[in-house]
A and B are shown apart, each in its own frame.
Chain A
């Protein structure tokens, strides 16, 4: 199907040679008016697009300190140039973070700085033309806003901020991206990214209840729109039907049931994801976030718990309080919002969950840190909890665990290649190539340590891995949810698994006597 070559694993991780314009092109599908107008964008390019572009740029320079400071403070030291997975996978120099920023910076300099106004050639400033705009659209949709470059930048420049600003500017002149805008519109119209209507969702959840009861003999509830329960579960809609996402959802249900935490999903806010982040739109991030507040109020819950989703957790952890708070009507004894892993980890620490690790003995796991969790959020009460807690939970559920190379995990983790609004088929070449560094690290632990599977806590990562693993010679189901492992290992009170385990012990005693 693909008209491109999957990159070969590099023998040594040497910095690739530059191949200018390797990824030149028109970029992803352009959005249409029918999607844009609901999001507050014009839908088509106006006559005075140039003026509007510069106006919006000026507006954002006055609204975001990050954007203003980052336009000025780059020293072109080159520290970031070999850090982007899209550069490593495509060799296109415009995918070097600094070069990506420069697409915007050279226009910033031309119109907003003294040096660029009077000595454009000297400082590399250029006029804003239609070609520049096209280049923005193409290359700002080859950034997954993963922030890896910012970790290595001596000035702390976060290319994600520049990418978001670029996308916001483009959308304001009718040059938005179809994938993200269409999805946000679905959230407004139907309640989730996938456009699953309430009744369909209810059917899925009922099936899950049956399935879990059949497997375990325990009537675990997967409620929708149930008022007065303790917690609202916000989870990415992929958790309702995609593999391995749904196995994670089954796991959340089991954990919450065992802990006696009643919970529900909301049909109105049946989506944790917030693609407003990807398009850099404060208004849309806020509008999507407000659904969560409204659902929490409507359903009279005391807590909000988030499922496994990377950027959703960034928005939830870092922005929800700001955008949709204050949440003084919720139980303040729990963090608002709370990650399902914080719940599970806490319960394991307190000895409230019984996990039979042997259920996962056929697996040797590794963990892929999702970029938005790793570099834009936290779990627990210590910096770095976002690395330790998922690993602790995996290790509590599995006997065999190996980390990938230290420069490819934790805050140096490589993006899966599909984040930031790029998880669309029209960007498949980019997604496969961008996955290269992660696949190399995975290949290494597979060959050297016998790793069989990789766990992730992000719906986008899971979907992206499912698609890209086969390109690199892995099985597509090598990717797993963290709560899938918990789900396999958990021994719920009164379950068949409990009877089987304890029964076996009794038999063992019998034979000893």
Chain B
């Protein structure tokens, strides 16, 4: 069983990294032939960085759009970020002090994460407009994340697992020196679902993570009059046009 999990995580990690890299490569390779930032847009690259940061960190557009969705969505994402960060201790041999200090705050982030997910799920089930646009996979993602969160909380507060062994196991995967994993049900469920999530991420709507940064509507500088913007395939069409020059 431990070997299965070790293998599963090795595969999951590879799928995640390669899948995501392929997708990011694809996004970067497809040209954006025209300037289409949604205006008012920043006039400089620095401004674009600020615009994207506001979207990635504060969910600025969503805040403007719908306060409830923003509240639950932002709560979930920020909590997930904290939770992921405190999990770093399973991958770093000598845990740095800041990470130790973060642990007590971090353990409550699991609750805000679950509340956020529940809010999003309720909204998806009961707001007619959102229900209309939802596919089974949209519900399953929320359920998957909820179960991951709940099993995590279970291990932290109810049925403790041997985290020292878990750490040996995770460090073991990194160094290809597989170790035994404690055979606790919540842990096995937790880890299995995390692996599933890692494997499916590059093939799902979780591609919104890189997608956010590749949206030309948000990542372009507003300078079309000053700077000529031309895509490679558009350059081919250029040749013909360049015959037309003022006499």
Binding site for B on A (CB under 8 A): 15, 17-18, 61-66, 68-70, 72-83, 93, 96, 98-99, 102, 113-115, 121-124, 147, 150-158, 161, 282-283, 286, 290, 293-294, 297, 317-319, 321-322, 324-326, 329, 335-337, 374-378, 383-384, 386-387, 411
Q: How far is the CA of A317 from the CA of B40 in the complex (A)?
A: 13
Question: In whole Å, how far is A126's beta carbon from the nearest beta carbon of chain B?
Answer: 11
Question: B61 touching A78 by the CB < 8 A rule?
Answer: no
The residues in B between 166 and 220 inclusive whose CB is less than 8 angstroms from any CB of A are 200, 203-205, 207-208, 211-212, 214-218
Q: In the complex, which of the residues A68, A77, A377 has the most CB atoms of chain B within 10 Å of its own CB atom? A: A77
Could you write out 24 A-B pairs with CB less than 8 Å apart?
A: A65-B31, A65-B214, A69-B215, A69-B216, A70-B215, A78-B124, A78-B127, A79-B65, A79-B66, A79-B69, A115-B203, A122-B137, A124-B136, A124-B137, A147-B217, A152-B66, A156-B212, A161-B217, A290-B244, A322-B229, A375-B38, A376-B38, A376-B39, A411-B38
| B93 in contact (CB, < 8 A) | no
Binding site for A on B (CB under 8 A): 23, 26-27, 30-36, 38-43, 55, 59, 61-62, 64-66, 69, 73, 123-124, 127-130, 132-138, 140, 200, 203-205, 207-208, 211-212, 214-218, 222, 224-225, 227-231, 233-234, 237, 241, 244-247
Question: A72 touching B207 by the CB < 8 A rule?
Answer: yes
Question: A114 touching B203 by the CB < 8 A rule?
Answer: yes
Given contacts A68-B26, A282-B33, contact A154 B61 (CB under 8 A): yes
Question: A61 touching B36 by the CB < 8 A rule?
Answer: no
Question: A150 touching B38 by the CB < 8 A rule?
Answer: yes
Q: B225: which A residues are within 8 A, CB to CB?
A: 317, 321, 335-337
Given contacts A79-B66, A282-B234, A386-B39, contact A66 B207 (CB under 8 A): no
Q: How far is the CA of A286 from the CA of B208 in the complex (A)?
A: 32
Question: A376 touching B36 by the CB < 8 A rule?
Answer: yes
Residue of B nearest to A98 (CB): B133
Given contacts A15-B129, A161-B36, contact A322 B31 (CB under 8 A): no
Question: B32 touching A66 by the CB < 8 A rule?
Answer: yes
Given contacts A64-B30, A64-B33, A155-B211, contact A78 B130 (CB under 8 A): yes
Contact partner of A157 among B133, B215, B227, B241, CB < 8 A? B215
Given contacts A69-B214, A156-B215, contact A76 B228 (CB under 8 A): no
Question: In whole Å, how far is A353's beta carbon from the nearest beta carbon of chain B?
Answer: 24
Given contacts A64-B33, A122-B137, contact A147 B38 (CB under 8 A): yes
Contact partner of B217 among A76, A93, A157, A325, CB < 8 A? A157
Question: B65 touching A123 by the CB < 8 A rule?
Answer: no
Q: How far is the CA of A82 from the CA of B130 in the complex (A)?
A: 10
Q: A318: which B residues are within 8 A, CB to CB?
A: 34-36, 224
Question: A79 touching B32 by the CB < 8 A rule?
Answer: no
Q: How far is the CA of A19 from the CA of B138 in the complex (A)?
A: 23
Q: B127: which A residues are within 8 A, CB to CB?
A: 78
Question: In whole Å, how far is A304's beta carbon from the nearest beta carbon of chain B?
Answer: 11
Question: A154 touching B217 by the CB < 8 A rule?
Answer: no
Contact partner of B129 among A18, A147, A283, A378, CB < 8 A? A18
Residue of B nearest to A296 (CB): B246
Question: A383 touching B43 by the CB < 8 A rule?
Answer: yes
Q: B237: which A residues are within 8 A, CB to CB?
A: 283, 286
Question: B32 touching A64 by the CB < 8 A rule?
Answer: yes
Q: How far is the CA of A151 from the CA of B30 in the complex (A)?
A: 23
Question: A61 touching B40 by the CB < 8 A rule?
Answer: no
Q: A63: which B residues are within 8 A, CB to CB?
A: 30-31, 33, 231, 233
Q: B230: which A residues are within 8 A, CB to CB?
A: 322
Question: B36 touching A154 by the CB < 8 A rule?
Answer: no
Q: In the complex, which of the residues A75, A98, A336 has the most CB atoms of chain B within 10 Å of its own CB atom? A: A75
Q: A66: which B residues are within 8 A, CB to CB?
A: 32, 36, 215-217
Question: A73 touching B208 by the CB < 8 A rule?
Answer: yes
Given contacts A114-B203, A161-B36, contact A99 B128 (CB under 8 A): no
Question: In whole Å, how far is A399's beta carbon from the nearest beta carbon of chain B?
Answer: 28
Question: A156 touching B217 by the CB < 8 A rule?
Answer: yes
Question: In whole Å, how far is A17's beta carbon from the nearest beta carbon of chain B?
Answer: 7
Question: B208 touching A74 by the CB < 8 A rule?
Answer: yes
Q: B136: which A residues are within 8 A, CB to CB?
A: 121-124
Question: A322 touching B40 by the CB < 8 A rule?
Answer: no
Question: In whole Å, how far is A95's beta carbon from the nearest beta carbon of chain B?
Answer: 11
Contact partner of B211 among A62, A69, A319, A325, CB < 8 A? A69
Q: A374: which B residues are within 8 A, CB to CB?
A: 39
Question: B218 touching A156 by the CB < 8 A rule?
Answer: yes
Question: A80 touching B65 by the CB < 8 A rule?
Answer: yes
Question: B42 touching A383 by the CB < 8 A rule?
Answer: yes
Question: A377 touching B27 by the CB < 8 A rule?
Answer: no
Q: A147: which B residues are within 8 A, CB to CB?
A: 38, 217
Given contacts A93-B132, A158-B38, contact A75 B205 (CB under 8 A): yes
Question: A375 touching B135 by the CB < 8 A rule?
Answer: no
Q: B35: which A residues are within 8 A, CB to CB?
A: 318-319, 322
Q: A152: which B residues are within 8 A, CB to CB?
A: 61-62, 64-66
Question: B135 touching A76 by the CB < 8 A rule?
Answer: yes
Q: A75: which B residues are within 8 A, CB to CB?
A: 205, 208
Question: B40 touching A383 by the CB < 8 A rule?
Answer: yes
